[in-house]
Structure 1
């Protein structure tokens, strides 16, 4: 039986960003419904590069530090809310464990909005297609995409793959600094916390750790693909760090490289006094996990393990 979930509070807020005045754009007539039209002037004052946060506070708190969930590249906070095949996501799992949970749509993603003007973000956006998701996220071999033939033992719900690719949203590759600033604004609002970051979110989280060392009390990196350029002992000493990796890590040269980079970063954290744990789930007897363990068929079990680690390492 699923434990009943009672909330003390929930809500949302925007954090960070900057006002931008657009000038020199041509005006034009537009029709935004079948019966409404007007002369549209895009010149004026806007606010861009903010983050959006939805938060949930359980009635019974079991841990003093909230968990801030940070999505990976080309995705939004929706990735934590529900699995593609309709099961509960990690938001609910960590709430039931007694954590306050903050779900971020960082700069340019989801409800954070985006800037359509080249003078704000000059490069065009990219968006991940289904074929790239299939191989990059280690659901199966690239040549098996059309047949949807997954790796043997794959735990990702492949039958729901078409629902999964709806998560993909545009991203601007030059916005890492803006993403850091937006996330730091979130941390300023949340206060001391643990950050749980996925993939590209790792770089933002580890950089934010150094930018806000008094607020980030530990980081859980779910297959992080980026890191801070340096590690400062004063920002990491005594803090807990967890690195979590799934299966099929030798499937592509990229993942071999990313795993090596993650191991090197973990070692650097440890050399500077951090308390570091690394889980390679397949080596722990938990086979078949993809790049998306929060969506795999054992997602609840992995969330429970992470919760137990938090209670032990981040008490």
Structure 2
């Protein structure tokens, strides 16, 4: 496994140094089919027999001519929807189009109780919370209103406005069981696909794996939480308690994680030692957990590659690498890994 990881990192280093022209040229985007559909969900019935459909996911898809074998499923993070993958705050193409151009069918999902999938039978109250400056720091753009040195985030006012306005409220309580039921239903409908998840979407992915055999690979961008460790080994040596950040599971459940090739990617400005700013310190904990989890999965025969971008000479990436100024380079990292794993075949 160490040999495979070393080979990937070597190829990745060369890929990032070359800056090949064909990764930045805009070629015609030919779409053979596109559309949208709702997936999963429930039907509630009142005493008079009237029905209410809700708690489904929303999916927008595009299929190119002669697509690669496995489609990509894009899953957003907390306070986001499918906009995460559509385009960047400063108007450049997002991963949805970048990978469509690279021959992949793309399925961009919004999970239940959010955005276009907002219909739910659960009553809730949407209250404005003035927390944007907190998320600005937690998403590692900078300490508001400043920017981290060399940050890969556009600094113009219009881009900042677009970024903050893409935050999307919940129309009901966030429940992993409801969300992962819809996610699993999508993978079962597709009969096999590659999950490309971001942030809380990675947490949902860990919870979805036991529900379907159709997640064939995972690219996890800046995942935090629910790292699952086998309970026949000591708990991870980390300064948080079991709960949201990590959980202990049975060896049988943990074994499911060893069957799927996975790429985990983390950006810059993550503290190396304990930090007084909690919004930043949580990423120190999550990166440490991700490394411990990678070791645990690979120790039992898994295939996990973890890339911490500053360790390979790429600096300034925020919590949103897919929309940072160097998002083409981020797409190249993902493409190179898919190639190394034999997952980009037609």
TM-score (norm 1): 0.85
2:261 counterpart of 1:249: no
Between Structure 1 and Structure 2, the one with more helix by share is 2
Higher RCO structure (Cα 8 Å, ≥6 apart):
2
Residue 173 of structure 1 deviates from its aligned partner by 4.9
Gaps of 5+ in 2: 1-24, 229-246
The 5 A counterparts of 1:1-315 are 1-21=25-45, 44-61=50-67, 63-115=68-120, 120-121=122-123, 129-141=131-143, 145=144, 148-159=145-156, 160-171=159-170, 172-212=172-212, 214-227=213-226, 228=228, 229=247, 230=249, 232=253, 234-250=255-271, 252-315=280-343
Q: Secondary structure at the match of 1:267?
A: helix
Looking at structure 2, the residues matched to 175 and 7 of structure 1 have their Cα atoms a distance apart, in angstroms, of 35
Q: CA RMSD in A?
A: 2.2
Looking at structure 2, the residues matched to 254 and 112 of structure 1 have their Cα atoms a distance apart, in angstroms, of 29
Looking at structure 2, the residues matched to 95 and 209 of structure 1 have their Cα atoms a distance apart, in angstroms, of 25
TM-score (norm 2): 0.77
The number of residue pairs the alignment matches comes to: 287
Decide whether the 8 Å contact of 1:218 with 1:314 is kept in 2: no
Looking at structure 1, the residues matched to 54 and 282 of structure 2 have their Cα atoms a distance apart, in angstroms, of 33
Gaps of 5+ in 1: 25-42
Decide whether the 8 Å contact of 1:236 with 1:273 is kept in 2: no
Residues 1:3 and 1:162: Cα distance change in structure 2 (over 3 Å): same
Q: Secondary structure at the match of 1:54?
A: strand
Between Structure 1 and Structure 2, the one with more strand by share is 1
**Which shifted more, 127-136 or 8-17?**
127-136
Q: Secondary structure at the match of 2:184?
A: helix
